[in-house]
Structure 1
Amino acid sequence: MVVIGSRTPTQIDQVPSAAQIVEGEQLREQTSTGVDLKTALGKLVPGLDFGPQGRTNAGQNMRGRSVQVLIDGVSMNNSRSLSRQFDSIDPFNIERVEVLSGASSLYGGGATGGIINIITKTGEAGGPSWESAAGVTTGFNNSNDFDHRVAQSASGGNDFVTGRIGVAYADNGRHYDAKGDEIFPDIAQSDLQGNRSIDILGNLTFRLSEEQTLDLKAQLYESGYEGDHGVYFPNLDSSTPNLEDAEIRKGFSADREPLTDRRMLNVNYHHANVFGQDLYLQAYHREEESSFHPFPYPDSDGSYYFTTSKQNTTLSGLKMLMSSDITGNVSLDYGVDIDREEFDATQMYFDDDTTDATGGLVHEEERVEPRYPGFQIDGLSAFVQSEWQPTDNWTFGAGIRRQHMDVAIDDFQPSGQSLAEGGKSDYDVTLYNVSALYDFENGHQAWTSYSEGFDLPDPSKYYGHPGQSVSDNPLDGIKTRQVELGWRYQGSRWLTQAAAYYSWSNTTIEPDDNLNIVQRDDKRRDYGLEASATRFLGDHWQFGGTLHALRSEQKIDGEWEKRGITVDPYPSQHTATLHAQWSDMTRSLRLQANRSWDYADYQGDEIEGNTTLDLIGSQRTDFGKISLGVENLTDEQYSTPWGQRAAGFYSPRFGPEYLYDYQGRGRTYTLSWSLEY
C-alpha cells in the first residue's frame, strides 16, 4: 500500500511512524450504522479519540494533541480553531483516508498529534460508470426520529481525460438518547440534529503525456440547520430570569442559524522528469463561512442577552516539491510552501424583547458588530527531507523545515469597549526530524524517530482584549517535540502495529472568563501506547481490535499533574475497540465493541467513559448491496466527551450544566443500499 500523506508516494511499510490506511469500504461499513465521518474514524484509528457526535470535533485529538485534517493535501484547519474539520465532506465521495500519527511538519501548523489526509474518489477510463446510494436511520422514537441520505455519481473518460462528479445529500431529524428523551441542542458549538447537508465534488484528470498529469478538483459543501426545534426557557421575561427548567419545543427561528458553508478549488500538476526529478505543484483556494447557534450571555443586571457569531476564512496557497534519487540508495525531497489566510467575524445581537417574549425560541436581528479582530497570516516555508538506505534492511531519514509567518491584526472595538489596537507581528519556527527504520524482510518492520510540529495560538481569541495592543503582546508558536518507538507486522494471517511515544511542549493555552485565551509558560507532556491488531482465521473470519492508552500532564507549581479537562488541547481518554467479523464474497456480519475509560484531572473534574456495541451486516444482491447497521446495540445511556467538557467549560457562568451536557444517541437502526453499474 502507498500513502501520499507523506508529501510523496511512499510504501506504508517504509514510513517511520505509525501509519494506517482506512479504505473507503471500511469507512462506509462504519457509516452504515448512521454515524458521521469523525465518529467512524474514531472507531478505526487507534490514536484518534472517539467522535463527539455533534458538528464540532473539539476535543477529538490524536495522541492527546491537535490533528491536521486535509482533503487531497489541502488543510481544513484554520488559525481560528473552529473545530469543524470533519464537517467538510460526505463519506460517499471518499476513496480512502491516510493517517500518519505523531508530530509532523509536513504540512505546517496544526499537526502536533498527527495528519489525516482524506483522498477523494476520481474517475477511470471507460464508462460511463454510475454509483447510487441511499439510506435511512432511526431509533423508532417518533416521526421526527429519521435521518435520510441519498447520493449519486457519474464517472468515465478515455486515455487523455477522466472525470467524476458526485453529489451526496443528507437530511437529519431529531435525535434521542437511550431513555427516549429528545437530546438538547448543542447551543455552544451546534450539532447535526435537524441538519441538511449537500456535498458536490467534481474532478478532471488530464494525462498530458507519458510523464505529465494535471488534476483539477472542485467542491461545494453546505451543512446547516433547517429544523424548527429549539430550547424554550420559561422564565426569560420574569423579573429574575434564569436558564433553569428549559425544554425543547417547536417554533425556533433565528436570523442567523448554525451553518458550515465551504467552497474549494485544488489544482495538482506532476511532471515525472524535470532534470531527472519528479516535480509536484499544487495550487488551492478555500473559502469557508461558519455560523453558530444563538447563545445566552449573562448581563450586568442579572438578565440574559442572546447573540451568535459568523466567522469567515479564506485560505490560498501554492506548494512546490522536487523529489530525486541522488544515488541508488539516497533520495532527496525539497520544496517551498506559500500560503495566505484571511479571517473576519461578526456578532449578531438579537432583540431582547422578542427573545424574552418567546422564551428564546425566536431571535430577530437587532444589530451586528465585530466579534473578533480580523487578521491576515502570510506564510513562507522551505523544507528538505532526505533518506539513506545503506543496506536492504536499514533506512535512515532526516529533514528540516523553516517556517516564517507574518501576522497582521486589525483594530478591534465593539460598541462600549475601549480600542484594541491592531498591528503586525511575525515569527519563525524551525522544525527537525530524524528516523531509523529496520526491515526484517519477513513482514516485520521496526522504527524509532524524533519529530517536531507546531501550533499557532488562535490570533482572534488571543488578541481583541480591551486596551490590548499587538506590539505589547507578541504571539509565539507552540512547538511540540516527540520521540517514538514502533513495530508493525503484515503477514498472510496478521496485520499488526504498535507504537510507544512521548511528546512535550513548554507553553500552554488556557481560556479566560470571557472565552478568550491566554498563553502561559507551563510545560505539558503526553505519553502513551497506540496499537492495532487483526487476525484472519480461515477464509471467512477475522478478529481484531485497537488500543490507545495515554497520560496527559501539565506542570503546575513544579509538579506534573493530570491536565485539566478544559485545557486546550483537551486531554484524551483511554480507548479501545474489539471486533469479530464473518464475511464471504456476498455477505458479512461484524460485531464491534467500543470502550472509553474515565478521566479525572488534578482538580477532581472527570470525563466519564462508556461502552457501546455496534452490529453491522450486509448482503450483496443482483440489485446492489443492502446493509443493516445497529449502533449502540445495548442502548447505553451516556454523555458524549464533548458534552461533559462543555459543561465544565461553560457552566455555571453561562447557565446550568444540563444545557451543555450533550448526550449520546440511543440505539439506532440504519438500512442502506448502494449500487455500482
Structure 2
Amino acid sequence: MALSAPLYAKSVPHNLEHIIVTGSRVVESIDEVPASVTVISREQIEAQLKVSPELQNLLEVLVPGMAPSTNSSSNTGQTLRGRAPLIMIDGVPQSTPLRNGSLGIRSLDPSVLERIEVIKGATSVYGNGAAGGVINYITKKPSNSSDFSASVDASTRFSAVKSDETLGTRVEGSINGRMDKFSYLATLSYEENGVQRDAEGDILGLQYGLSDVETENYFTKIGYDFDAEKSLSLTFNYYKSQQKTDLGDIFGDINQGDKSYAIHVPADQQKQGRPQGPSGNTNIMLKYSDSEVFANTGMTVDLYAQDIENVFFYSPNLANPSAGYDGGQSIIASEKQGLRTTFNSQFELQGAEATFIYGVDLLNDISSQPLVDGRIWVPEMDMSNLAGFVQSKWVIDDHYVIKAGVRHEDIDLKVDDYRTLELCRSETQCSVPMDVKGDTLNYSATTYNIGIKYNAFEAFSPFISYSQGADISDIGLLLRTATVNDISLIRTEAAVIDNYEVGFTSVLDALRLEGSLYRSTSELGTSNSFNETTGVYMPVRAPQEIWGYELLADYRFNSAWRTTLTYAYVEGKNTKDDIYLGAKQISPPKATANLQWQPSRDTGVSMTLLYVGNRKRFAANANGDYVGDQGPVDDYLVVNLSGQHKFTEQLNAYIGVENLLNRDYYPARAQAYTYGGYNIKGLGTSITVGLKYQF
C-alpha cells in the first residue's frame, strides 16, 4: 500500500501530496516513493489511544500487512508481511536483532510521537534487522512559536465486565516553547494498570501480560538554530514498563480448549524473580543539520547511544535440577553506539530533477542474554558494522519517478568461548551442554534496490519495485542451541531477502484506492522444530518464500462522514520441504473498517471493526495435538468505539470503548501458539475516560 490515509484528521485534504516520509532517510513527497509506505498521523495516534494506550493495537488497526496484535507486552508473532520489522525511534534501532526478544514495539510512550512511518518490505536503508521493513517512531519537535505552551492529560481505564481491581490511571504532561534561537520540549507520562479481564470476567494470564503494569516515560528535546541553515538538537528518552503483581497463573492447554488465566495466590506461588518488562531503556540522540553544507547539498549527522535491558518472566523451562535450578529468568541486554552521516544533493540534469542521497553508517551493538541467577544462556555478541550507501532519485517530466540505490555492509561479530546450558523440561528430557570455541565472524553484503512510479494520472498511479535486505538477525538463538563445538560451524550465515512488489494509488474525486502485490524470498530463513529428546526448539535454516497482497479504500461521503476499509493477506512456505510457515511469521488474513463522524469542529465519533480470518494449514500429531506455532486459527471480530468533545479551546473530554460487544475470543497468536501460557483470551469490554487541558 502506498499510503494509509489519515482516518481522523478532518483538516487534512484528500489530496495527500504534501505528506512526507523518511523512507530514503531524507524528507520527500509521498508521491515520489515507489514503494509501500504507511504514514500514521498524530491525529490518528490520538484517536486510537482513546481506545487503547498500546502501540501494538494501533499498528494492528492502521497498518495493512501488520499481523494482529498480541494483547501483551511481546510482539512475537506480530510480523510485518511475514517477517520481523526493525523498530526505530527517529532512525535509532530499538529492536535487538542479535537476540530478538520481540519487545521493540513497546519501546516508548505514544504521548511523545508526532507520527509513525512504516516502510514495508525488506530494506537495507537502515541496516541489519529490517527483513520485513521498518517501523520508525518520529518524535515530536519543539514548536516554532515563541509562546510557551503546556498541557495535562489525565484518564482512567477499567473493565465493563467486572470492574473489581481493574481501575487504572494515566497522567501525561508536557511543556513546549522557544526563546530566540533556543527551543525546548519536555513530556512525562505515568501509567498504572489495574488487572485486565476477559469477556468472562477472569483476569488475563500473566505471560507477557499487562495486568498491574507500571509504565513511566521521560522525554525531552532541546534545539538550537545557529542560522536558517544550521541547527543542533539533543533528544533524550527513558522508558520503563514492568509488571509488579501478587497474582499467579493457572495454565490451560490450547489443544484442550482451556485458557490460561490469573488468580490471587499465596506469596510462594506468585511470579518469581524480578518484575518482567523493560527495566529502564535509555536513548540519547544528537543531531546536527546543515541544509547548505556546500552547493546544492545538505548534510545530517546523527550520533546516538542506547542502553536496553528487557527482563523476561520466570520459566520452568530454564530448569536444571542436577545443578539446583528449578527454573530461571532471562534478560536481554543491549548497548548500541552509532554514527550516521547523510548527504543529500539535488541537481537539474538534462531536464530531470536528480537527487543523490549518500553517506556512511557506523554501529557497535553489544548484546547478550544472561539469566538472573548468573548462568549465561546467550554469550556476549560484539558486533561492529560499517556501511556505505548511495541512493538516487530521478524525476522526469514530472511523471516518471525512478529510484535506484546500493548499500554495502561489512560486519564483524565477535563471540568468546562459551558453554551452552543444560536445560530440562523433565528429569529425562534435557538438552546436552556443549563447549563452543568462540571466534570473530565476518559478514559482507551488497544489496540493491530499484523502483519506478508513474504519476501522470491521478486516477491511476502505478509503481513497481525490487529491493534487497541483508539480515543476520537472531544469531543469539543459534548460539544458545549450538550442537557443535566451534562457532564457525554453526549456520550463522547472513540471509539476503529479495522483495518484489507492484502497486498503485488512485484518486477518483472523494474515493481513494490503493493496492499492492508482493513476494519476498530468502535462501536462509529461521524457523523452529521441536526436538522430542532434548525438549528444545531447534532453529531450522531453510529457504523461504512469502507472498501476499493489500488493499485499501478511503471514501469521504461529505464533510462529516468518512470511511476507510482495508484487507491484507499473507502466506509463506519453507520451499525446501514445501511446508507452510508457522504463526511466528505468518498471520491470518486481516480486514479493518473505520467509520468516522465529525458533525462539528468540536465533536467527533469513530467506530473501528477488526476482522481476523481463519488459517488452518497444519495437521495434528498422532495424539491429536498441535505443536509449536502450528495451531489452527478461527476467525473473530472486534468492534471499538471512541468519541471526543471540546468544551473550550483549552478543555477536551474523550471516551473510548475497546471490544464494544464483549466478544469472547482468543487472539490469533493465542490460538496458534501451543507453547505453555500463551493461550490467553482477548480483553473483554474495557472503557477509557479522560480529560485534556491545554494552557
- Pairwise same-fold verdict (TM > 0.5): yes
Residue 426 (structure 2) aligns with: none
Equivalent position of 2:203 in the other structure: 182
Q: Secondary structure at the match of 1:126?
A: coil
**Residue equivalent to 1:656:** none
Give the TM-score taking structure 1 as reference length: 0.89
TM-aligned CA deviation for residue 233 of structure 1: 8.6
Q: 2:641 — aligned with what?
A: 615
Aligned to 2:463: 447
Q: Which amino acid aligns with 2:688?
A: T
TM-score, length-normalised on structure 2?
Answer: 0.87
Structure 2 residues without counterparts, runs of 5 or longer:
1-18, 253-257, 423-432, 621-630
In structure 2, relative to structure 1, the CA distance for the partners of 1:244 and 1:155 (3 Å cut) is: closer
The answer to whether the 8 Å contact 2:310/2:332 transfers is yes
Instruction: Name which of 29, 52, 62 aligns with 1:11.
Output: 29
In structure 1, distance between residues paired with 2:203 and 2:640: 21
Give 2:588's match in structure 1, choosing from 570, 573, 587.
573
Aligned to 2:367: 343
Q: Please, which moves more after superposition, 436-445 or 53-62?
A: 436-445
Are 1:107 and 2:122 matched, yes or no?
A: no
Shift of 1:471: 2.3
What is the match of residue 385 of structure 2? 379
Out of 290, 311, 328, the position equivalent to 2:332 is 311
Q: Tell me the equivalent position of 2:653.
A: 626
Alignment partner, residue 636 of structure 1: 663
Q: Say which of 283, 293, 299 aligns to 1:279.
A: 299
Q: Secondary structure at the match of 1:26?
A: helix
* Secondary structure at 1:368 match in 2: coil
276-285 or 492-501, larger mean C-alpha shift: 492-501
- Residue of structure 2 aligned with 1:555, choices 575, 584, 595: 575
Q: CA deviation at 1:151?
A: 0.2
The answer on 1:323 being equivalent to 2:344 is: yes
Are the equivalent residues in 2 in contact too, given 1:33–1:616 (CA < 8 A)?
yes
- Does structure 2 conserve the Cα–Cα contact (< 8 Å) formed by 1:546 and 1:577? yes
Q: How many angstroms apart in 1 are the aligned matches of 2:150 and 2:260?
A: 51
Which among 270, 279, 284 is matched to residue 289 of structure 2?
Answer: 270
Partner of 2:193: 172
Deviates more, 1:136-145 or 1:38-47: 136-145
Once residues 501 and 618 of structure 1 are traced to their aligned partners in structure 2, the CA distance between those partners, rounded to angstroms, is 38
In the other structure, the counterpart of 1:56 is 74
Distance 1:160 1:482 in 2: 44
Change in 2 beyond 3 A, CA 1:282/1:370: same
Structure 1 SS opposite 2:326: strand
Cα 1:247–1:542 change in 2 (3 A) is closer
**1:510–1:519 CA contact under 8 A, matched in 2:** yes
Q: CA deviation at 1:295?
A: 0.9
Report Cα offsets for 1:624-677 as digits up to 9, x if no partner: 221111111111111122323432xx25xxxxxxx3312210111111222222
Residue number among 94, 99, 104 corresponding to 1:80 in the alignment: 99
Alignment of 1:401-480 (within 5 A): 401-413=407-419, 417-442=433-458, 444-464=460-480, 465=482, 467-473=484-490, 475-480=492-497
d(CA) in 2 for partners of 1:491 and 1:599?
A: 34
Distance 2:468 2:635 in 1: 31
Percent identity between the aligned chains?
24
Alpha-carbon distance in structure 2 between the residues aligned to 1:15 and 1:273: 24
Q: Which is worse superposed, 82-91 or 472-481?
A: 472-481
Kept after mapping to 2: 8 A contact 1:451/1:481: yes
Match of 2:623 in 1: none
Alpha-carbon contact 2:158-2:166 (below 8 Å) kept: yes
CA–CA distance in structure 2, aligned partners of residues 342 and 177 of structure 1: 40
Give the secondary structure class of the aligned counterpart of 2:448. Answer: strand
Offset at residue 35 of structure 1 (A): 4.3
Partner SS for 1:600: coil
Conserved? CA contact 2:203–2:262, under 8 Å: no
Q: Residue 240 of structure 1 corresponds to which residue in structure 2?
A: none
Of the three residues 539, 549, 552, the one matched with 1:529 is 549
Counterpart residue type for residue 165 of structure 2: N
Partner residue of 1:590?
606
Query: Structure 1 469/330 Cα, relative in aligned 2: closer, same or farther at 3 Å?
Result: same
- Give the match's secondary structure for 2:52: coil
Relative to structure 2, which stretch is displaced further, 142-151 or 588-597?
A: 142-151
State the alpha-carbon separation in 2 of the partners of residues 62 and 422 from structure 1.
Answer: 33
Once residues 233 and 139 of structure 1 are traced to their aligned partners in structure 2, the CA distance between those partners, rounded to angstroms, is: 22
Query: Where does residue 361 of structure 1 map in the other structure?
Result: none
Preserved contact between residue 592 and residue 610 of structure 2 (Cα < 8 Å): yes
- Describe the shift of the 1:244–1:149 C-alpha distance in structure 2 as closer, same or farther (beyond 3 A): closer
Contact 1:5 1:73 survives alignment (8 Å): no
Unmatched 5+ residue regions in structure 1?
235-242, 349-366, 652-658
* 2:309 counterpart residue number: 289
Q: Report SS of the residue matched to 2:379.
A: strand
Paired positions, count: 632
Cα pair distance change 1:15/1:244, threshold 3 Å: closer
Which residue of structure 1 lines up, in the alignment, with residue 6 of structure 2?
Answer: none
State the shift of 1:493 in Å: 2.0
